[in-house]
Structure 1
Amino acid sequence: MPKILGQLKGFKQLGYEMNLLCFNQSSHVVLTSFSQDSEYYLKSKVLAQNNTNLITRRLSLLRLAEQYISERNPDFIYLRYPRSEPLYLYFLAKVRQKRPNLLILSEFPTYPYDQEYEGGCSKKDKLVFLLDKITRNHLKYFIDRVVAINYAHPIFGIDTISIDNGIDISSYHSINYAPVSSDHINIIGVANVSLWHGYDRLIRGLGEYYRTSPHPKYQIVFHVVGAREPYLTELLTLAEQENVSHLVIFHKPTQGKELDEIFLECHLAVGVLGGHRKGLHIMSPLKNREYCVRGIPFIFSHIDPDFPDSFKYCLQLDSSEDAVDISDLISFVEQLRNEENINVSMRNHAFSVLDWSVKLKAVQNYIDKQLI
């Protein structure tokens, strides 16, 4: 939800009046409206109560969306792609039938995504994927453009607008981090952790570091924030197997002041280290952007267009299954230890490159041309 609200705020900064129709955390269908004189969302109105039946709940959202579009007569709609299925195609067909000139854009947060359904996914996920594969090639009859994150080729026969992920910079404040001491380095990774995050590579790296360094220069501690089952158990087991359980600290999902306090003790953050596991080598994960806005140096293992080699506050590792070489991380941290105002420099980069009002300009250019 923070990403979606950030996008809406970015659209508003570009001059569009935007409202959001979606499920909230209680699975109610809500309409979130933005005031005309404020950058922040104003209120959320519940349009339909929670229903435990997934099909009924989805029908409720699509029915209310169709009704809202008919009543408000917008110039364009911006959909977050939910995976295709017959009900979704029916919704698009009815909207297109009633509003043949309506501009319909759909964002694909990840593409390609087929590899996400390989291996041990649930029966529900397998059904979702099957319905998607059966129906997705019909999307081209209803959607005018796909907005794709770091993907510039047609998707299911639909031309794309390629953008990088952005962030609502005002939602994060910069933090002055603890200086690196002479004997320890704290690393933080914040995510609803999955295989694609590749945290296992860092834990295996810690194991190798302590096995090969009887008298290590630094004590390296890895703080994992937000890991949940089933992957939490896998990481716990791996840390035990590598004999680093006492050096891998698992924190419950947290945010706000409590999360800030953990960040204050850390010197380095961990982005995605396993994007190659789903065939992605060019990515723009939100976590990289959040770390940059906060002002903490970070690592990742893919190409991120917003952080070129000249940006010295991040370290790109190999995109492989190899354990992370902890000595590389130590050298990186040591290179920056005497530099002043790192958080200011990183936040300035974020303002100039990462804000959603910057990222959505390519979408704005397309919309404005079509509405002339």
Structure 2
Amino acid sequence: MRIIFLLYHGFSESSGISKKILCQIKALRELGHRVNVCTYDMNKNRHRVRMMDEEIIEDYGTGKWAAVRKRISYDGIYRYAVAQEVNMIYVRSFHNANPFTVRLFYRLQKAGIKIAMEIPTYPYDSEYKGFPFFTRCGLQIDRLFRKTLAKRVNGIVTFSDEKTIFGQRTVRISNGVDFDTVPLRKTINNNSSPTLHLIGVAEVHYWHGYDRLIHGLGEYYRQYHDKEIYFHIVGGVWKSEMYHSQHAPGFHELITHYHIEKQVIFHGQKMGKELDELFDLADFAIGSLARHRSHIDKIKTLKNREYAARGIPFIYSETDEDFDRMPYILKAPADESAIDITKIIRFCSTLDIPPKQIRNSIYHLSWKNQMEKVIKEL
């Protein structure tokens, strides 16, 4: 099958989203399909361009008008798809339903091309709280046209349990793992160690709820304790989460209040060997602890799967049917309470599951298996 993987943005080497997309593309190719990747980017001459692999299919030029054109002109995609006799478009939603994307999808369907639209997180409206005015205006346009856009696709790919989204049937899959790109951690928990290292890897937003962990860490250090705990935060932290969070005290405020500056370590973005070394140091991982803030209960996050592929036990608060009953999982309540650090310590002290066994439990969640479901159900 000839497939276009359509993105409304480019790739970033440090982006977890980019890594996920590349794994999805790799999986489709391993399934025997010919996949072209359509991206939007800015070239060396500062021209805004839409690319099909390395080929420019639409050059919008420079300046303000170019910034407008890239949001309304999708003719290059249509012409390429028809000329190359493409069978299917797999598009990652950018929350950009509008008359122009509706028109593109309508024309593609009229040409007999199937469309699968992935909505990475649903519902997503609440995620825009605190975003700039212009960004929130874009969401309002999306709200006006997303049901119409949904009528122009053959199925919506979701990582939730929703059977329909915006009136369209869904193809329900899990976030997957490319085991070739996620190494197994080398260390095994040492229950007798006087220290416990926690790791959270994310571009940190309010729904990650790391403030709950920091709050719990502060309360732990106010009491008698016999184990030193370190929380390693790996990835960028939004300024709104570090200071004056709208949902909870900012990280800086909590750390200062409890005098735990040495216990919370901000590493920034790490990749490759540096990231692997941090996982080798860690005993326990931190997933999302506040999806309830964005009104999400059931979700199959990529991070949970990456933690399991690394072979590290972890905690989260949402409902994830792939992991809820796993023995290496500790569930946190989906509320605003501080995370009980002593529970984590007790859990780790009794856990005796080697990293390889954790990894083996999710081999059915490979990206190849997940993308095959999309092809079969579309």
Q: TM-score, normalised by structure 1?
A: 0.86
1:146 aligns with 2:141: no
1:260-279 equivalences in 2 (<5 Å): 260-279=276-295
1:256 and 1:28 mapped to 2: Cα distance?
30
Tell me: CA distance 1:48–1:243, structure 2 relative to 1, closer, same or farther (3 Å).
farther
Q: 1:4 aligns with which of 21, 24, 33?
A: 21
Whole-angstrom distance in 1 between the partners of 2:55 and 2:324: 42
* Cα displacement string for residues 82-109 of structure 1 (whole angstroms, at most 9, x for unaligned residues): 1112221222233234x0x221111111
Q: Which residue of 1 aligns with 2:311?
A: 295
**Equivalent pair of 1:203/1:242 in contact (CA under 8 Å):** no
Give the SS at the match of 1:228: coil
> 2:156 & 2:91 partners in 1: Cα distance?
9
Letter matched to residue 257 of structure 1: K
Residue of structure 1 equivalent to 2:246: none
1:248-259 equivalence runs, <5 A: 248-259=264-275
Q: Is 1:79 aligned to 2:91, yes or no?
A: yes
Residues 156, 171 of structure 2: 8 Å contact kept:
yes
Percent of matched pairs sharing the same residue? 32
- Please report how far the alpha carbon of residue 277 of structure 1 lies from its aligned counterpart in structure 2 after TM superposition: 0.9
Go from structure 1 to structure 2 and tell me whether the alpha carbon gap of 1:208 and 1:132 turns closer, same or farther (over 3 Å shift).
same
Alignment of 1:1-372 (within 5 A): 1-23=18-40, 29-32=50-53, 44-45=54-55, 47=57, 51=62, 53=64, 54-59=67-72, 62-83=74-95, 84-97=97-110, 99=111, 101-118=112-129, 120-177=130-187, 179-180=189-190, 181-213=192-224, 216-230=225-239, 231-233=241-243, 234-309=250-325, 311-336=326-351, 339=352, 342-351=354-363, 353-367=364-378
Query: Which letter maps to 1:77?
Result: I
Whole-Å Cα distance in 1 between the matches of residues 107 and 358 of structure 2? 46
Q: Is the 8 A contact 2:205 2:238 kept in 1?
A: no
Q: Deviations over 1:275-308 (max 9, x none)?
A: 1111111111111111111111111111212114
How far is 1:203 from its partner?
Answer: 0.2
Q: Which amino acid aligns with 1:176?
A: K
Structure 1 contact 169–350 (Cα < 8 Å) conserved: no
For 2:151 and 2:321, how far apart are their aligned partners in 1? Answer: 32
Residue 362 of structure 1 and its aligned partner are, at CA, apart by: 2.5
Q: Where do 4+ consecutive residues of structure 1 move more than 4 Å?
A: 24-28, 44-53
Cα distance, 1:25 vs structure 2: 8.5
Q: Which residue of 2 is the match for residue 36 of structure 1? A: none
- Structure 2, unpaired ranges of 5+: 1-17, 244-249
User: Secondary structure at 1:10's aligned position in 2?
Assistant: helix
Distance 1:249 1:152 in 2: 38
RMSD over aligned Cα atoms: 2.1
Maintained 8 Å contact 1:199/1:273: yes
CA distance in 1, matches of 2:197, 2:150: 48
Could you tell me which amino acid in structure 2 is paired with residue 68 of structure 1?
A: Y
Offset of residue 356 of structure 1 = 0.9
Aligned equivalents of 1:74, 1:80: Cα separation in 2: 17
Given the superposition, is the C-alpha separation of residues 57 and 139 from structure 1 closer, same or farther in structure 2, using an over 3 Å criterion? closer
Aligned residues: 345
Q: CA deviation at 1:126?
A: 1.2
CA drift of 1:52 comes to 6.0
Tell me if structure 2 keeps the 8 A contact 1:51–1:57: no
Cα separation, 2, equivalents of 1:11 and 1:303: 28
**1:303 match: secondary structure:** coil
Residue 148 to residue 46, structure 1, CA distance change in 2 (3 Å): same
Query: Separation in 1 of the partners of 2:188 and 2:40?
Result: 39
Maintained 8 Å contact 1:204/1:323: yes
SS at match of 1:165: coil
The residue that corresponds to 1:40 in the other structure is none
Q: 1:246 is paired with a residue of what secondary structure?
A: coil
The 1:331/1:5 distance shift into structure 2, 3 A limit, reads same
- CA-CA distance at 1:318 after TM superposition: 1.1
Per the alignment, in what secondary structure is the counterpart of residue 296 of structure 1? coil
Could you tell me how far apart the structure 1 residues matched to 2:301 and 2:260 are? 28
- In structure 1, how many angstroms separate the alpha carbons of the residues matched to 2:161 and 2:226? 43
Paired with 2:22 and 2:85, the residues of 1 have a C-alpha distance of: 22
Secondary structure of the structure 1 residue equivalent to 2:361: helix
Contact 1:178 1:266 in 2 (8 A): no
| Partners of 1:332 and 1:358 in 2: CA distance | 32
Normalising to structure 2: TM-score of the pair? 0.85
